[in-house]
Every structure is written in C-alpha cells, then in structure tokens.
C-alpha cells in the first residue's frame, strides 16, 4: 500500500455531546468542511483528537464512520500511541480491519525508550502490517528524539514512508531531505512553522487550526507550492496569532473554541480537560474575535498544483 504523503492533513478533533458521547453529526459537518477545502487526508486520534481519553470502541467507530464520510476521496489515517508493542500491533490490525489506509505512529508512551528500543518498537509494528506509516517525531512533547541514524535503520521497512517533523528545528527538514531524498516524505507538524516548513521543502502539513480554518490552511499550502509566496504570506501573517493557539497545553480547548466561531464544531471536551475559564478564556476569545473580524478573502487556490 502507498499514501501520497503531501498536502494538508488535518489532525481532527473528536466531537462530543454535552452528555460526553461521540457527536458524529457535528463530526460529519467538520469533515465535510475539510474535504470541501481540499485536504489530502484525515488523521484521527492524535493529541487534538483526545486519543488518550477514547475507548477502543470509540476509536473503531471514528475510523469506520470517517471512512464512510470520505468515500474513498482521501486516506483515513489513525494515530497509534500505545504503552506496549503488543497493544500497538493490535491497534494497527484493528485500524486496518476498520478501513484505515495508514498509520501515524508515536514512540512508546509513558516509558522513555532508548534509541534501540524505539527503533525495535517501530519496526515490530511496521512489520506486522501492510499499512503505510508516518512516524511522529516530537521530542518536545513526548521526550523521544527520532534521529537521522534511527530513521536510516527504520527505512528498512518499506511501509515507513513519512515523518511528521515536530522538533521545532526548521533545519531538520533540510537534513532529512539531504540524507533520504524522496524516500522519506516530510510533513511539518508545527502550525507556527507551517509556511516556513513548506518553503524549506516539506511535502505536507499535519495541521491543527485547519480544524477551524480549513480553506485558509489549504490556500497557504497550495499557494506556497505554486510559488505564489507573497499571496501565501499575506494569509499566513493574518493566521499566525490563531496558529499560536496550537502550541499550548490547552490546544484542544483553544481549537474547539475556534471551531465554534467558524460554525464547524462544539466546545465540549472530555474530562479531565475542561473548557477554558477566566482570563485565559478571554485572551483566546479575543484572538479568535480579531481573526474572524479580519478573515482574508482567499484567491482561487484549488488546482494550482495539478
């Protein structure tokens, strides 16, 4: 199997009702907005998807329903973030059975594995499945750095095809491209480095604020790839205060507030997360209010790179 690892791939939020059950009706509204904007894939069960709070049954429902919603137009990718190798292998098998077309994989959770253990973990899961895999390299949030030497070993597995680059070191995109060329696709995972990463050669953008602003995110990507840098930069400069809501421990609450503002989400989160309160809520609300008031008119960006 193969995925064309490029374009904008939203790490979508999981929608809940007031009663704390999956809100598949509002989820469908958001997925339609993503598809209409021109995203290249849908990623489920990431940090934004509140994966650590979801049951296995809920994850299966999300995969199956998303597969139905996209109707084969884009791949559905599920995040694998497990504590044990055995559980990760099982999660990959369930994902394939439910219709997922790819995996995004974090290193082992809770235990800080060394380089050898991390490589062995990734290889064990990759060798257990035919699904294409994007490794998630986020040492700041998850404490494990996937080095270039580790990537070299991991590329023995043909289905390890991409890396979500979230080290915050913009030069790492060039290092990866210099060493591996097109063998390993690079997707930026940091919203506040979105345009910068694309200009440095990233193939795609695993985005967060795309959940609320899908068209603006896709426009930046398409314009940048078409060499229309000034047009992309105009949108990006407007977008940056909103994108900064993604680099926060409360990114889920922040982005769900933005989804409410654009009419494609609700603010319900799953405890122990709670909606923002007090001064912090006022601060985030003001950023969103200003962004909405100055929302740019987008050029016709679709089809620029066909």
Assess whether pLDDT exceeds 90 at residue 232. yes
Q: Which of 133-142, 236-245, 258-267 has the lowest mean pLDDT?
A: 133-142
pLDDT digit string, tens, across residues 69-118: 999 999 999 999 999 999 999 999 999 999 999 999 999 988 899 999 99
Residue 11 DSSP class: B
pLDDT digit string, tens, across residues 52-73: 999 999 999 999 999 999 999 9
Assess whether pLDDT exceeds 90 at residue 240. yes
Q: How far apart are CA 270 and CA 151, in angstroms?
A: 35
- Report phi then psi at 204, rounded to 5: -160, 180
- The torsion of the CA quartet 204, 80, 30, 168, rounded to 10 degrees, works out to -40
pLDDT digit string, tens, across residues 154-203: 999 999 999 999 999 999 999 999 999 999 999 999 999 999 999 999 99
Residue 182 DSSP class: G
Q: How far apart are CA 201 and CA 185, in angstroms?
A: 10
Domains and CATH numbers, the chain: 7-293 (3.20.20.70)
Residue 52 DSSP class: G
Nearest Cα to 214, choosing from 20, 2, 8, 3?
Answer: 8
pTM of the model: 0.96
The answer to whether the beta carbons of residues 166 and 192 sit under 8 Å apart is: no
């Amino acid at each position: 199997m193969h995925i064309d690892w490029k374009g904008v791939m939203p790490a979508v939020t999981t929608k809940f009702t007031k009663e704390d059950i999956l809100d598949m009706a509002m989820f469908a509204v958001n997925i339609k907005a993503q598809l209409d904007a021109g995203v290249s894939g849908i990623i489920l069960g990431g940090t934004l998807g509140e994966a650590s709070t979801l049951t296995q049954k809920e994850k299966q429902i999300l995969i199956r329903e998303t597969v139905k919603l996209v109707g084969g137009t884009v791949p559905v990718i599920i995040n694998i973030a497990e504590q044990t190798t055995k559980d990760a292998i099982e999660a990959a098998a369930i994902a394939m059975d439910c219709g997922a077309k790819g995996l995004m994989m974090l290193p082992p959770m809770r235990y800080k594995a060394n380089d050898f253990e991390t490589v062995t973990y990734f290889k064990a899961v990759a060798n257990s499945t035919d699904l294409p895999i994007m490794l998630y390299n986020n040492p700041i949030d998850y404490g494990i750095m996937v080095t270039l030497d580790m990537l070299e070993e991991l590329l023995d597995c043909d289905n390890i095809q991409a890396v979500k680059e979230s080290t915050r070191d913009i030069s790492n995109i060039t290092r990866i491209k210099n060493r591996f060329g097109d063998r390993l696709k690079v997707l930026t995972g940091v919203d506040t480095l979105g345009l910068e990463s694309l200009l440095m050669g990233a193939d795609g953008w695993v985005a967060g604020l795309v959940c609320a602003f899908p068209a603006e995110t896709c426009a930046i990507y398409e314009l940048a790839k078409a060499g229309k840098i000034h047009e992309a930069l105009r949108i990006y400069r407007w977008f940056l205060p909103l994108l900064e809501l993604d680099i926060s421990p409360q990114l889920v609450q922040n982005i769900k507030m933005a989804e409410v503002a654009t009419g494609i989400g609700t603010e319900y989160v799953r405890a122990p997360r709670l909606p923002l309160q007090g001064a912090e809520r006022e601060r985030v609300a003001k950023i969103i209010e200003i962004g909405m008031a100055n929302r740019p008119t987008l050029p016709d960006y679709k089809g620029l790179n066909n």
